[in-house]
Structure 1
Amino acid sequence: MDLTYCLESSELPISGTLGGRRWRDVLFPIFDVAEDDAAVPSDEFSVWATQRGALSMGQGGPPELLRIPRVISGRSFDQIALCLIRSGTLSLETQGHRRLCTAGSILVFSLRYPFRLAWQNSEAARSHVTLWLSQGRLNGIPDDRVHGRVLASSAAVAVFGAALQTVAEEVRRTGQQVLDDVIEGVAALSLNLLTADGKPMDAATSELASFVTIRNYIDAHLNAHDLSAATLARTFGLSRASLYRLFEPVGGVASYVRSRRLERVRETIKEPGLLNRRIAPVAYGNGFKSIASFNRAYRQAFGESPRQSRRGARQGPAEARSADPMGLLARGLMELR
C-alpha cells in the first residue's frame, strides 16, 4: 500500500510505504475494519489535510467498512464526506435502508451516524476520491438531511467530480495555501449541490432520528446493568424487530452498548485528574459485570490493555499520541475546523 499523508503545513507532501500493514492502522477509528484485513500490493490510500478540509483517495482496500461513532482521546468525529466513486459500485446501508452509488456518482454521509459501506464486487476494480468537511462548512444544512444522499450523474455532479479529481491529481505539486484555496472552491460547489439536489427519503430521516434518540438514551444510562434490547424496546415502545433493524448497521444493540461502555471507560481512565483511580470500579460503574470479559473486549476494541492506555495517558504528549491507536485518516480529519 502506498501512502501519501499531508499534515504539517511546512512538509507537503510526506510519502511513505505501508506494505503489509493492516487497513485498521489506516482507517480506525473512523471505520471498523477486521483485524486480519491486510493491504495487498495493489492497494493505495492517500490523505491531504488542512484546517479547511481534507482530501482522501483510495484504490482497492477492504470490501466492507463499518462506522460506529466513537470518541478517541476526547475527540469525536462528525465530519461530512462527499465520496466520488471513480470505479466500482459502493453501497451504503443505514437503519434498514440501502443505497447504491455507481461510478460517476457521489455518495454523501455523516460520520455522526452509524452505517455500513460495502463494495458490491470485491474482485472488480474500485477507487474513490473523498472530500471531508466539518459540519460548520455546510452553512446550516442539517447533517440528518445530508446523510445517505446519492447524487446521481448529472451536469452539476460531473462538474463537481471533475473539480475533485483535478484537485486529487494536482495536490502533489501544490503547497498548503493553494490547497486551501482550491478546497474552499470545491466546498462551495458541494454546498450548491446539496442545496439544489432535493432531500433524502423521509422514512430514512425518520429512522435516523429514532436512532439518535435511542443512542442518546444509551449514553445517559451506560451504568445500568439492565441496558438490554428488551429494556430499550419497552422504553421506546418498539418491537424488538424494529429495534434490531435500527442497530443492524452497527452490529446490533448489544454490540453498540458494549462499544459505548468501552469508550466511556477509556475516556475515564485516561482523564488526567483520574489517573490514580482503580480501573475495575470504573468498569463496574459502566455496566460491566466481569473484569475478565471487560479486559478481553477492551483489548479487542483498542488493540491494547486498559493499563497500557493509562500508561500512555501518563506519558508526554508526543509519546501519548504514538500510543493512541489513531489511524492515519483520523489524524487528518482532526485538522479540520
Structure 2
Amino acid sequence: MSNPATQRKIIDAASRYSDIDERYYEWEDGLSSAGLSLILPKSSLSTFDWCVTGYHFDQLIGGILTASEHDIQRRQGNLFAVPDHVLLFIVLVGGLDCQCRGRRFEVGQGDMLIQDMSQPVSISVRAGSAGPCTYQYFILPKSSMAFSVDIAPLHGHCLHAASPLNRMLRGHLATMLALFDQMTEMEVKGVGKGASNLIIETLALLSGKALDSPFEHSTKLERVCLFIESSLGTQLTVEILCKRFALSRASLYRLFEPLGGVACFIRNRRLAMAQRMMRDLSMRHLSLSAISRRCGLEPSVLRHHCIQHYGEPPREIRRELRTQFAHRTHTQHEPTHVGWVSTL
C-alpha cells in the first residue's frame, strides 16, 4: 500500500531549532494559520516546548499538537488572517481556559471547542496531571458548508465529551489520524471528504438546522451565494440578483436575513477576497488600489471596512502578513500549515 505524498504530512517540534527566537517564530507561524497569536512572557521563552504533527486531507486539515502552558488569542488585529474557516479543538490531555463573547469557561479532556475563525477568542493552554496540554485540531473552509450552516452562533460552543455527537465525531476523527500513514492518496482524499461532511452535519444539528442531505446542499441560497462568490469583481446589486434568480426583493432579503443581509454578505465576501490577495505573494506587485478594484471595492471603502471590522488599515494588514512570511524559515518544498490553509 503506497503512502500519501509527503506534502500531506508535517512533523515539527521546538527541538529542531537551537535558536530560542526561531522556536518562538515557528510556533507563532503555525498559530497564524488559525488566525491566532501567541502570548508568552519573555521569561518563559527558553523553556517553551512544543511539537506538532499535521495532516492534509484535501478538504480538511487535522493534526495533534502538544505544548507547554501559554496563552493564545484572536483579536481584531489578526481576524483578517483566515476568516473563512472553522476550527475545532479536541482536548486529549490538560485543558483550555477560554474567554469568548464575554463569558469564561473550561474545555476539559475529551471536550470539543468550536471556533468561527472570523471571531475573537482568548485561550489559556494548561497542562494536566498526565503531562503538557495535548489536543487535536481540525480546520475546514466555510465554503465546504455550501452556506447552509450559520457557524457564527456556534463560535465558542463546547461540545462536551459525554455527548453522543462528540463521542461519534471524536472517535471518527481520531481513527482517521491514526490510520493516515496506512492510506493511499485516493483514500486520504475520500476520507477527508467524508469527515468534512460528518463535521458539517454535526454543526448543522448543533445549530438547530437539520440539512436535507448531509452530502448535497442545493438550496436557492447556496446558488445565489456561489454566484456572488464568482462575481465579486463585477457590479452586484439587488436588482441583478433578483433578475438572475427570479426572486422578488422581499424574497431575496428573507434568504439572506440569517447571514446578516445581502449587502453585508457581499461586503464580507469582497473583504475576504481582498485578504486572500493581500496574503498571496504572487500578487505583491499589485497596489492596494488595484486589489480593491479587483474585489469590487473602492480603495476608500476597503480602508473604512478594514479599520471598522479588523481594527487596522489595509496597508498595515498587508505589512503584517508579509512579516509572517519573512519569519518563515521553511524551504520552498516543505509544506506549512499557512500554505495548506490558504489553499483550502
TM norm structure 2: 0.55
Distance 1:78 1:117, change over 3 A: farther
Distance 1:118 1:78, change over 3 A: farther
CA contact (8 A) 1:129 1:168 kept: no
Report what 1:24 is aligned to: 28
Considering fraction of residues, name the structure with more helix: 2
Report what 1:86 is aligned to: 92
Report what 2:285 is aligned to: 272
d(CA) in 2 for partners of 1:55 and 1:78? Answer: 16
Structure 1: 5+ residue stretches without partners: 1-5, 200-262, 276-281, 288-293, 313-319
CA contact (8 A) 1:24 1:34 kept: no
d(CA) in 2 for partners of 1:135 and 1:186? Answer: 14
* 1:134 aligned residue (136, 141, 151): 141
Instruction: Give the secondary structure class of the aligned counterpart of 2:84.
Output: coil
Report what 1:244 is aligned to: none
Distance 1:39 1:147, change over 3 A: farther
Distance 1:78 1:38, change over 3 A: farther
Q: Which residue identity is paired with 1:57?
A: I
Q: Which residue identity is paired with 1:329?
A: H
The range that moved more, 89-98 or 144-153, is: 89-98
d(CA) in 2 for partners of 1:111 and 1:130? Answer: 13
Q: Aligned ranges for residues 207-286 of structure 1 at < 5 Å?
A: 271-274=284-287
Report what 2:114 is aligned to: 108
Q: Deviations over 1:117-175 (max 9, x none)?
A: 11255885321112211102234111212211111122221111111111121223333
Q: Which residue identity is paired with 1:26?
A: G
Report what 1:55 is aligned to: 62
d(CA) in 1 for partners of 2:200 and 2:93? Answer: 24
CA contact (8 A) 1:49 1:333 kept: no
d(CA) in 1 for partners of 2:46 and 2:138? Answer: 23
Report what 2:152 is aligned to: 144
Q: Equivalent pairs: percent with the same residue?
A: 12
The range that moved more, 114-123 or 58-67, is: 114-123
Root-mean-square deviation (CA, aligned residues, Å) is 4.5
1:329 counterpart = 2:337? yes
The range that moved more, 140-149 or 62-71, is: 62-71
CA contact (8 A) 1:80 1:108 kept: yes
1:97 counterpart = 2:103? yes
1:274 Cα deviation after fit: 3.7
Structure 2: 5+ residue stretches without partners: 18-22, 209-274, 289-298, 305-312
CA contact (8 A) 2:96 2:123 kept: yes
Distance 1:93 1:148, change over 3 A: same
Q: Deviations over 1:29-71 (max 9, x none)?
A: 5211147565868632121124311012111245211113344
Aligned residues: 236
